[in-house]
Copies of this chain bind each other. A is one copy, B any other.
Amino acid sequence: MRREGAGMTAPDGPAGVREFPVLPMSDTTRRMTGRVVTEAAAAISALVADGTLKPGDRLLAQRLADLLGVSRFPIGQAMRILADRGLLTADPGRGFSVASDGPDHAASYRAERGHDDLTSAYFRIAEDRLAGALPDTISEQAMRDRYGLGRGQLSQLLNRMAGEGWAERRPGYGWRFSAVLTTPTALEQSYRLRLAIEPASLLEPGYCLARETLLRCRAVEERMLGGEIETASADALYDRGVRFHEAIVGASGNPFFLDTLKRVNRIRRLLVYRSLADRSRYRRQAAEHLELLRLIERGAQIEAAGLLRAHLQGVMEKLSTVRPLLEAKQHPSG
C-alpha cells in the first residue's frame, strides 16, 4: 500500500553519481514499511521517550506485540528500524534493548514523524472543502485524479466522511458534500450537542471515573498550567482538550455517549482548523478541568454536571469572537 517511487526507478543519478550521498543508512531507515510497522516503531519510541522503558531494558517481542494487539513480526521490523536509528541496540540472538542514549534519539525520531498518507489526504480534502475549492458534487474518478489515491483508499476516505456526515453518495454515482462544514454556525451547533450530552453523561447510573484515569488527567492539566500551555503546539493543545472530555464522558460506561462525543470531536477538529490558538484561554480551561476532577472525585456528580455545563457554555461564548475568522475564511495573524 501507499508505495511512492521507492527505489525501482532511477535510484541513482546518471553514470552512478549519487545525488544524495548523505544519510548512509537511508535504504534501511527509509525502506517502505507497512502501517503496523510504522505505528509499532512510533509506539516503542514513545515508551522510550516517556521513560516507561529505560536504557538497558530488554524488549520482549511478544510482550510488545500483545500490548499493541499485533503479531511479533512487525514488532521485530520496528525494533530493527529503531536499532538503525540508534534508539535500541541489537544483541544478536537475544533481541534488542534500549540504548544508553535511546531517549535522546527517541525525541528526535518522534519529532520528524509526519502524518499517514491517508490521514494527510483526509485533511487535504477537508481543507479544500472548507476553502470552497471542492465542488458540491464530484465523481470518484475526479477525486482519485485530484488526490492521487487508489480506489480502496479513496473509498475508505469517502465512507469515513459519509459516516461523519459531511459527504454522501449521490443516487446515480459520484458524491455530494453537504453544507455542514461550510456553514458558519456549525461550530456553535456542535457545542450545543456537547452541552446536551456531556453533563448528562455525568449523571448516568454507575458513573465511575477510574482512579488511574483521574490521576492521569490531573497530571496532564497540571503540566499544562505549569507551562506547557505556552510551549505545546496548537494540535497538541486541541488533543489534550479532546482527550480530557472523552475521558470524562467515557467514564459513564455508556458507549453511545462516548461514540457521539468522539464523532462530534472529529468534525470539530475540521471546523476549528488551526485557527484559534489563543493560548490565554487555555489557562482558565485547565483550572476548570481540575475543579471538575475534584468534584467527580468527591462523587458530587450533580455539581460536576453543572460545572461542566457552565464550562462548555463559557467556551461556546468565546466562540463568537473567533467566528468571524471562520466566516472570512482567513487564519489569524497572531
Residues of A within 8 A of B (CB): 36, 39, 68-71, 74, 151-152, 155-156, 159-160, 162-165, 170-172, 178, 180, 186, 189-190, 192-193, 195-197, 200-201, 204, 254-257, 259-260, 263-264, 267
Contacts and interface: CB of A to CB of B under 8 A. Distances in A.
Contact of A68 (B156, B171, B196): B171
Question: By CB atoms of chain B within 10 A, which of A159, A178, A196, A200 has the most?
Answer: A196
B163 A192 contact: no
Q: How many copies does the complex hold?
A: 2
Nearest to A268: B256
Nearest to A261: B260
Contacts of A255: 165, 178, 180, 186, 189
Contacts of A197: 193, 196-197
Contact of A189 (B159, B193, B256): B256
A256 B186 CA distance: 9
B165 A254 contact: no
A230 to B, nearest CB: 33
A171 B42 CA distance: 14
Contact of A171 (B39, B172, B178, B257): B39
B36 A171 contact: yes
Contacts of A70: 171-172
A256 B196 CA distance: 11
A100 to B, nearest CB: 30
A259 to B, nearest CB: 5
A193 B155 contact: no
21 contacts: A36-B171, A39-B171, A69-B170, A70-B171, A155-B155, A155-B156, A156-B159, A159-B160, A160-B163, A189-B254, A189-B255, A190-B256, A192-B200, A192-B204, A193-B197, A193-B254, A196-B196, A196-B257, A197-B197, A260-B260, A260-B264
A264 B264 CA distance: 14
A192 B69 contact: no
Contacts of A162: 163
Contact of A259 (B39, B152, B165): B165
A163 B180 CA distance: 18
A229 to B, nearest CB: 28
Contacts of A152: 151, 155
Nearest to A158: B159
